Amino acid sequence: MLIDGHGRTVNYLRISVTERCNFRCQYCMPEKPFSWVPKENLLSFEELFLFVKVAIDEGVNKIRITGGEPLLREDLDKFIKMISDYKPDIDLALTTNAFLLPDAAQRLKDAGLKRLNISLDSLKTDVAAKVAGKDVLSEVLKGIDKALEVGLQVKINMVPLKGINDDEILDVMDYCKAHGMKVRFIEYMENEHADKALKGMHGREILAKVKERHTIKALGREGASPSFNYLLDDGYEFGLIDPHKHDFCESCNRIRLTAEGFLIPCLYFDEAMSIAEHVKKGDVESAAGVLAQVLKDKPKENRWSEEELEDRELSKRAFYETGG
Contact 71, 38 (CB under 8 A): no
d(CA 263, CA 268): 13
One-letter amino acid of 89: D
Establish if 262 lies at the interface with ligand SF4 (CB under 6 A): no
Task: Determine which residue in the list 18, 119, 227, 258 makes contact with ligand SAM, applying CB under 6 A.
Answer: 119
Q: Of these, 172, 252, 287, 294, which contacts ligand SF4 (CB under 6 A)?
A: 252
Sign of the Cα torsion 80, 85, 88, 90 reads negative
Beta bridge partners of 13: 63, 255
From the list 36-44, 94-102, 133-141, 277-285, the region that binds ligand SAM by CB under 6 A is: 94-102
The C-alpha atoms of residue 115 and residue 108 are separated, in whole angstroms, by 10
96 is a contact residue toward ligand GTP (CB under 6 A) = no
User: In 3-state terms, what secondary structure has residue 149?
Assistant: helix
**CA 293/CA 280 separation, integer angstroms:** 19
Query: Interface with ligand SAM includes 320 (CB under 6 A)?
Result: yes
Per CB under 6 A, the list member of 67, 112, 200, 203 interacting with ligand SF4 is: 67
Site string for ligand GTP, 267-286 (x = CB under 6 A): x-------------------
Q: What is the SS3 assignment for 175?
A: helix
Q: Can you tell me whether residue 99 is helix, strand or coil? A: coil
Residues 202-221 binding ligand GTP (CB under 6 A) are: none
Q: Which of 51-59, 67-75, 148-156, 279-287 is the region at the interface with ligand SF4 (rule: CB under 6 A)?
A: 67-75
Binding site for ligand SAM (CB under 6 A): 21, 27-28, 66-67, 69, 95-97, 119, 157, 159, 186, 188-189, 191, 194, 319-320, 323-324
